[in-house]
Structure 1
Amino acid sequence: MSDVAIAPRPTSLAPVLRRCATAALAGALLHAAFPPRTLWWTAVLAFALLWWALRGARVRRAALLGFVFGFAFFLLHLLWIDDFLGRDFGPAPWLVLSAVMALFTAGACALMPLVARLPAAPVWAALLFVLQESARGRVPFNGFPWGRVAFGQVEGPYLRLAAIGGAPLVSFAVVVTGFGVAAWAARPRDARRAWPVLPLVAALAVAPAADAQDGVRTVAVVQGNAPDVGLGLLDQRDTLRRNHLRVTADLANAIRAAEVPAPDLVVWPESATGTSGHDPVLDRAVADLGVPTLVGALRHVDGQQENTVIAWDPRTGAGRSYVKQELVPFAEHIPLRWLAGLVTPFADTPDLRAGTEPGVLDVAGTRVGVGICYEVAYDGVLRDSAALGARLFVVPTNNAWYGRGEMTYQQLAMARLRAVEHGRAVVVAAISGVSAVVRPDGGVVRSTGMFTEDTLVATVPLRSDTTPATRWGALLEALFALAALGACAAGARLRPGAGARLRPGAGARLRPGDRR
Structure 2
Amino acid sequence: MFARLLLALAGGLTLTAAFEPVAFAYLVPVGLAAFALATRDLTFWRSGLVGLAFGVAFYFTHIDWMRTSIGPDAWAALATIEALFYGLVGLSVPLLRRLPAWPIWLAATWTAVESLRSGWPFSGMPWGRISFAVVDTPIAPTVTYLGLTGMSFVLALVGFLVAAVVETWLPGTDAKVRRTRPLAFGTLVAVGALLVIPVARPYEAAETGSAVVAAVQGDVPGPGNDILYDHRGVTRNHVDATLALAAEATRPSGAGERAGAPGVRPDFVLWPENSTAVDPFTDYDVNADIREAVAAIGVPVVVGGLVDDGDDHVLNQGIVWDPVTGPGDRYTKQHPVPYGEYIPFRRYWDPKFGQLALIGRDMKSGTRTSPLQVAGIEVADAICFDVAYDDVMRDQLREGAELLTVQTSNASFIFTDQIEQQFAITRLRAIESGRWLVVAATNGITGVIAPDGTVVASADPRTTAVLVERVGLSTDLTPATRLGAWPTRVLTGLSLIALVVGGIAYRRQRNRAEATRAPTDDGEPETSPSRSEVPVA
Q: What is the TM-score normalised by the length of structure 1?
A: 0.89
Q: For residue 314 of structure 2, what is the amino acid of its counterpart?
A: Q
User: 306-315 or 155-164, which moves further after superposition?
Assistant: 155-164
1:258-278 deviations in Å (ceiling 9; x for gaps): 735332121000010133337
Cα shift at 1:203: 2.2
Q: Any idea what SS the aligned residue of 2:424 has?
A: helix
1:476-504 deviations in Å (ceiling 9; x for gaps): 2100001011111111122425459xxxx
Q: Any idea what SS the aligned residue of 1:315 has?
A: coil
Matched, 1:282 2:282: no
Cα shift at 1:210: 4.5
Task: Give, in whole Å, the separation in 1 of the partners of 2:205 and 2:480.
Answer: 18
1:330-371 deviations in Å (ceiling 9; x for gaps): 122211442655774346511023222225111122100011
Aligned counterpart, 1:7: none
Task: Give, in whole Å, the separation in 2 of the partners of 1:55 and 1:479.
Answer: 26
Cα shift at 1:153: 1.2
Matched, 1:455 2:466: yes
Match of 2:196 among 204, 215, 221: 204
Cα shift at 1:219: 1.1
- 2:222–2:230 Cα contact (<8 Å) kept: no
Task: Give, in whole Å, the separation in 1 of the partners of 2:45 and 2:263.
Answer: 61
Larger Rg: 2
Q: Any idea what SS the aligned residue of 2:363 has?
A: coil
Show the 5 A alignment for 1:410-449: 410-449=421-460
Show the 5 A alignment for 1:96-495: 96-187=77-168, 190-194=181-185, 195-206=187-198, 207-210=201-204, 212-227=206-221, 229=223, 232-256=226-250, 259-273=262-276, 274-277=278-281, 279-303=287-311, 304-337=313-346, 338=349, 340=351, 344-346=355-357, 348-358=359-369, 360-495=371-506
User: 25-34 or 206-215, which moves further after superposition?
Assistant: 206-215
- 2:439–2:446 Cα contact (<8 Å) kept: yes
- Is the alpha carbon distance of 1:38 and 1:81 closer, same or farther for their aligned partners in structure 2, counting shifts above 3 Å? closer
Aligned counterpart, 1:6: none
Cα shift at 1:241: 0.7
Q: Any idea what SS the aligned residue of 1:41 has?
A: helix
- 1:324–1:355 Cα contact (<8 Å) kept: yes
Task: Give, in whole Å, the separation in 1 of the partners of 2:138 and 2:351.
Answer: 41
1:285-315 deviations in Å (ceiling 9; x for gaps): 1121122111111123444421000111122
Q: Which has the higher contact order (CA 8 A, sep 6+)?
A: 1
Cα shift at 1:54: 1.5
Cα shift at 1:217: 1.3
- Is the alpha carbon distance of 1:347 and 1:133 closer, same or farther for their aligned partners in structure 2, counting shifts above 3 Å? farther
Task: Give, in whole Å, the separation in 1 of the partners of 2:166 and 2:452.
Answer: 34
Cα shift at 1:37: 3.6
Q: Any idea what SS the aligned residue of 1:275 has?
A: coil
Task: Give, in whole Å, the separation in 1 of the partners of 2:91 and 2:309.
Answer: 47
Aligned counterpart, 1:66: 51
Aligned counterpart, 2:256: none
Task: Give, in whole Å, the separation in 1 of the partners of 2:77 and 2:147.
Answer: 29
Q: For residue 321 of structure 2, what is the amino acid of its counterpart?
A: W
- 2:306–2:316 Cα contact (<8 Å) kept: yes
Structure 1: gaps (5+ residues): 1-15, 501-509
User: 362-371 or 339-348, which moves further after superposition?
Assistant: 339-348
Task: Give, in whole Å, the separation in 2 of the partners of 1:27 and 1:254.
Answer: 51
Q: Any idea what SS the aligned residue of 2:507 has?
A: coil
Q: Any idea what SS the aligned residue of 1:246 has?
A: helix
Cα shift at 1:223: 0.2
Cα shift at 1:212: 4.9
Aligned-residue Cα RMSD (Å) equals 2.4
Task: Give, in whole Å, the separation in 2 of the partners of 1:201 and 1:102.
Answer: 32
Cα shift at 1:385: 0.6
Task: Give, in whole Å, the separation in 1 of the partners of 2:478 and 2:395.
Answer: 13
1:427-474 deviations in Å (ceiling 9; x for gaps): 111111111111112222111221111111111111111122212230
Task: Give, in whole Å, the separation in 2 of the partners of 1:57 and 1:131.
Answer: 22
- Is the alpha carbon distance of 1:291 and 1:26 closer, same or farther for their aligned partners in structure 2, counting shifts above 3 Å? same
- 2:218–2:442 Cα contact (<8 Å) kept: yes
Q: What is the number of residues matched between the two proteins?
A: 486
Q: For residue 201 of structure 1, what is the amino acid of its counterpart?
A: A
1:208-251 deviations in Å (ceiling 9; x for gaps): 44465111111110001114747743332112111111211222
- Is the alpha carbon distance of 1:297 and 1:499 closer, same or farther for their aligned partners in structure 2, counting shifts above 3 Å? farther
1:402-439 deviations in Å (ceiling 9; x for gaps): 13211111111111121122211111111111111111
Q: What is the TM-score normalised by the length of structure 2?
A: 0.85
- Is the alpha carbon distance of 1:333 and 1:142 closer, same or farther for their aligned partners in structure 2, counting shifts above 3 Å? same
Match of 1:496 among 485, 507, 510: 507
